[in-house]
Amino acid sequence: MLYSKYPVWKVYNISFGKSMQYFDTHAHIGLICEDPIEQLIVIQEARQAQVTRIVSICNSLHDFVKVYDNLKSANHVYHAVGVSPSEVQNPGKDWVQTIEQSAQLPRVVAVGEIGLDYYRKFGDKKSQIELFITQLDLAAKLDLPVIIHNRDAGKDVIEILKDRLPPRGGVLHCYSEDAEYARRALDLNLYFSFAGNLTYRNAKNLHETIGVLPLDRILIESESPFMVPADYRGKRNMPKYLPITAHFLADMLEMGDEEMADTLWDNSSRFFNLPRE
């Protein structure tokens, strides 16, 4: 088993190559801080750690508008727009039209995060499923990939995606299922994104999952301010910590840091339909 080889409590000494750059595919910048200047500082600190592309995620359309406006000058920050299951009871007035219009803005690259969350019991299952399916169909119409939230709803998520996954595909963000679930999901046009919890010693399901996935279907994310890597447990997560997750993954797969960074960059750029450079 892969996880038995890697002491996640060690402090990593990551040597950055000149060409290394990282792509944070999922960061809740608006939840890290609300002040526009502080948000730009978070992004600048990430760039200093060679995290040179970030996809900003908002749970609500109201928050999307605020964060998008705050980060207009940050050309290396991209955006997803959508209504998460947490907002199922109040998605907003004319929310479908708002997503359609927002999807035309510069640097909007996905619909998300969307999906199902049966752990928190937001609204009822029927309403969550209707919201999810509507946005999957919207993504198909807009020719965008989807960023998928799944918490305690794996069976329904995979069954819905079998019929409604948009042509541009999707990513199971902050992957939390097991290796067998991943094997089934591989039959679809899905990527698998791992956050800082990959570095936790008890994350055996994630370590085993890495062992069954093709390398070209793997992404990483900070999921900041949540899911901080093991070395920083107890602190608020930041995009600047993303290289720790990449380094851990490189160790697991016996790859060099530069090769891993390059592979993840290519995978992320391809998924979001962005140029490699």
Give the pLDDT confidence score for residue 249 in this predicted structure: 98
The answer to the question of residue 9 being in a domain is no
The answer to the question of residue 123 being in a domain is yes
The answer to the question of residue 171 being in a domain is yes
The answer to the question of residue 91 being in a domain is yes
State yes or no: 76 annotated in a binding site. Answer: no
Give the pLDDT confidence score for residue 277 in this predicted structure: 80
State yes or no: 28 annotated in a binding site. Answer: yes
**Which ranges of the chain have pLDDT less than 50?**
1-12
Give the pLDDT confidence score for residue 18 in this predicted structure: 54
Q: How many domains does the chain have?
A: 1
Give the pLDDT confidence score for residue 15 in this predicted structure: 54
Mind listing the pLDDT tens digit for each residue in 255-268? 999 999 999 999 99
The answer to the question of residue 136 being in a domain is yes
Q: Please say whether the beta carbons of 250 and 260 come within 8 A.
A: yes
Give, in order, the Cα–Cα distances in Å from 217 to each of 130, 143, 170, 190, 195.
28, 20, 11, 7, 15
The answer to the question of residue 16 being in a domain is no
Q: Please say whether the beta carbons of 234 and 227 come within 8 A.
A: no
> In which element (H, E) is residue 30 found?
helix 29-32
> In which element (H, E) is residue 27 found?
strand 22-27
**DSSP letter assigned to residue 49:** T
User: What range does the domain containing 127 cover?
Assistant: 22-271
CATH for 128: 3.20.20.140
Number of H helices, E strands in the chain: 10, 8
Q: Please say whether the beta carbons of 240 and 195 come within 8 A.
A: no
Rounded to two decimals, what is the model's pTM?
A: 0.93
Mind listing the pLDDT tens digit for each residue in 204-257? 999 999 999 999 999 999 999 999 999 999 999 999 999 999 999 999 999 999
Q: How far apart are CA 113 and CA 109, in angstroms?
A: 12
Q: Return the structure tokens found at 196.
A: 């800082």
The answer to the question of residue 7 being in a domain is no
113 preceded by a cis bond (ω within 30 of 0): yes
State yes or no: 26 annotated in a binding site. Answer: yes
Place of tokens 């060679």: 50
The answer to the question of residue 6 being in a domain is no
Give the pLDDT confidence score for residue 219 in this predicted structure: 98
